[in-house]
Chain A
Amino acid sequence: MFTQQLVNGIVVGAVYALIALGYTLVYGILQLINFAHGEIYMLGAYLGIAVLAVLGTMGLTQTSLALSILLVFLIPMIYCAAYGVTLERVAYRPLRDAPRLSPLISAIGMSIFLQNYVQVAQGAREKAFPNLLQLGSFQVMGAYVSGLQVFILLTALGMMAGLHLFIQKTRLGKAMRATAQDRTMAALVGVDVNRVIAVTFAIGSVLAAVAGVMVGMYYGIVNHYIGFVAGIKAFTAAVLGGIGNVTGALLGGFLLALLESFWAGYVSAIYKDVFAFLVLVVVLIFRPEGILGGSGTERG
């Protein structure tokens, strides 16, 4: 049972962490909590279904599985990146110098807008996400692990490693770190701050899109509400680890999911969410900055 709960928790944790990264990246640079981020994740899942439907009618899912899987991830990633950048351009940039409450309200508004937009466009019903990857399952120390779970974990870890390299090794990553440290100074030394912010939103959205598609595959069911709960959980994970801190988001994501999993398995499934937020409250009382402490994309 212990190993099984560990597996359960790690897979969910990988998803939480991917979404949490989007919150933390944006917060690190703009000190803004992008509440519409959960909806980007939801859009990713819906786009995945749409792409699968198109590929299915084209017959590509039958002939070339590898290519279809690539497209199922790639197209939602591109679309969601565009959504993220547009979101920033439309809802946040005009308010960048406004009091901090204004962009927050704007974010909540965008979240409601996107949720209702998908509801109207796609219908209010649950949608089935066709299972593309029939990977089977195997047992490790009495725990059932499916190929899909391994796939999710590896993909998530790959994305995280890629993000780390991007922030640490590229010019744009350096510009991001500079902007996070001091926006005005960065602008003065010639960093195109608007571009950096747009890129940050695009990266966060790409990660959310990947998470959305993977969750769709994993649970096989998607509705327009999933962004809300996932967003709240990922936000909690980001705060738990220390919002603005990239490593913190990863730590927070895995920690939150594992705590939930063990609590639900050993103590009470009913109070799963209560426990998760209780942990958050306790951590914030003793470490208001989160476990790894405050903001700073620069610390990678």
Chain B
Amino acid sequence: MVPKLVRALLVLLTGCLLAVSTASAQTLKIGVAGPLTGDQAAFGDQLKNGATLAVEEWNEKGGVTLGGKKVKVEILWGDDRRDPREGVSIAHKFVNSGVVGVVGHFNSSVSIPASTVYSEGGVIQITPASTNPQLTEQGFKTVFRVCGRDDQQGEVASNFIKTKLNAGRVAILHDKTTYGQGLADETRRFLGKLGIKPAFYSGVVQGDKDFKPVLTAAKQANPEVVYFGGIHPEAILLVKQMRELGMNATFVSGDGVFIDEFIKIAGKSAEGSYISFTPDQTKIPEAQSIIRKHRERYRQEVGAYTIYSYVAANLILNSIQETNSNKGAAIAAHLRSKAWNTALGKIQFNPKGDVLESPYVFWQVKGGKFVQVD
């Protein structure tokens, strides 16, 4: 006779199996992961809103057609708090709960370690924002990005500093993260090709509040431009403290700083800064409907990565429906096979999973707003 305890356990186990199988039959799960809380939560909100709008549109139409019937889409949220360790544990959680595709993560330092987990689990990962080249250089079939790469961004930045700003003395700072240091180093490399050696180069600690010591040291090099690879919380403090120390060098940074918070909190100090980002998304004809929906739903304008997140979610769901499969390999192959019409215009992936075209342009903070520089 089977002992009581074992029988009880068996019943429990079957119960679990039933619960899992019924759940997966009812919905199609995708994951959305990024810094939903913490100092970068403003970016996390953009990922959240974009993906929510995409999934709601699908569910209004009844869901994704899979195996001849409509299946509703369900989002699982992952808050990585920009911490790589959190990111990896979220990735495991997603893989174990049968997620088919993931929109995320936001930070390159999180996306890269998480991508290994997704690749092993056969889960599609499309990041709306991680620009570090290494992400798609690992040879994973399941990894994609709808944004650009930092080697592209760094090249544009160095050309801009040399030709438009006519600067020869450049101080380069970064936040030691995969994204920040990666971008700063790409810019340094391309500046080197143009014959400009950085007059000052240093990292700062992410989450720190006082950058005056390092800025005081940078000031000794008398830079005309301070280039920062990093995200807005540090950029705000850097630009404010530069002005407090009497530095009037032009502040130049990348897509991690393209957010209203930078202007709102840094105020006057941010005026005249240059930030590289893609050309004005709100002018893209295909994006108009999502921009309108976002305004109605959230009572605010889309952020830098809202539409990227919306597009990433749509690409995953479209590819699932068109391949009629929830197998990662098939969906990934299909994603690479053609040019997609998206809210950002035509998108085509190369074999690595990068988008073929991703032009970066510069924006200037002018009168308390980002204005695209011609």
Contact = CB atoms under 8 A, between A and B. Distances in A.
- Size category of the A interface is 35 or more
B216 A1 contact: yes
Interface stretch (B1-9, B36-44, B184-192, B308-316): B36-44
A220 B210 CA distance: 11
B237 A221 contact: yes
Contacts of B212: 4, 8, 261
B285 interface: no
Contacts of A119: 37
Contacts of A220: 236, 240, 265
Interface in B158-210: 176, 202-205, 207-210
B356 interface: no
Interface string A194-229: 000000000000000000000100011101011001
A270 B176 contact: yes
Contacts of B68: none
B216 A4 contact: yes
Interface string A100-141: 000000000000000000010001111010000000010100
A264 B208 CA distance: 12
Contacts of B15: none
A86 interface: no
Contacts of A260: 213
Interface in A67-120: 119
A251 B255 CA distance: 42
A156 to B, nearest CB: 15
Contact of B213 (A124, A225, A264): A264
A272 B233 contact: no
B216 A269 contact: no
Contacts of B214: 264-265, 269
Contacts of B217: 1, 264-266, 269
A229 B206 CA distance: 11
Contacts of B207: 225, 229
B41 A4 contact: no
Contacts of B236: 126, 220-221
Given A265-B214, A269-B202, A124 B209 contact: no
Contact of A223 (B39, B203, B204, B219): B39
Interface in B17-70: 36-39, 41-42
B280 interface: no
A97 to B, nearest CB: 38
B220 interface: yes
A270 B217 CA distance: 13
Contacts of A9: 213
A12 B210 contact: yes
A125 B220 CA distance: 34
A133 B211 CA distance: 21
A155 interface: no
A144 B204 contact: no
A270 B212 CA distance: 13
A144 B237 contact: no
Contact of A5 (B36, B42, B211, B213): B213
Nearest to A146: B244
A26 to B, nearest CB: 24
Nearest to B211: A269
Contacts of A270: 176, 202-205
A268 interface: yes
Interface in A253-300: 260-266, 268-270, 272-273
Contacts of B265: 126, 128, 220-221
B216 A126 contact: no
A260 B209 CA distance: 13
B238 to A, nearest CB: 11
Interface of B: 36-39, 41-42, 176, 202-205, 207-214, 216-217, 219-220, 233, 236-237, 240, 244-246, 261, 264-265
Given A144-B245, A270-B202, 15 more contacts: A1-B217, A1-B220, A9-B213, A220-B236, A221-B265, A223-B38, A223-B39, A223-B233, A229-B207, A264-B213, A265-B216, A265-B217, A269-B214, A270-B203, A270-B205
10 contacts: A4-B245, A8-B216, A119-B37, A125-B39, A144-B246, A260-B213, A263-B213, A264-B213, A272-B213, A273-B205
Question: When A and B form their complex, which 9 residue pairs have the shortest distance between CB atoms, in order from nearest?
Answer: A124-B37, A264-B213, A269-B214, A270-B203, A8-B212, A124-B41, A265-B213, A128-B265, A261-B213
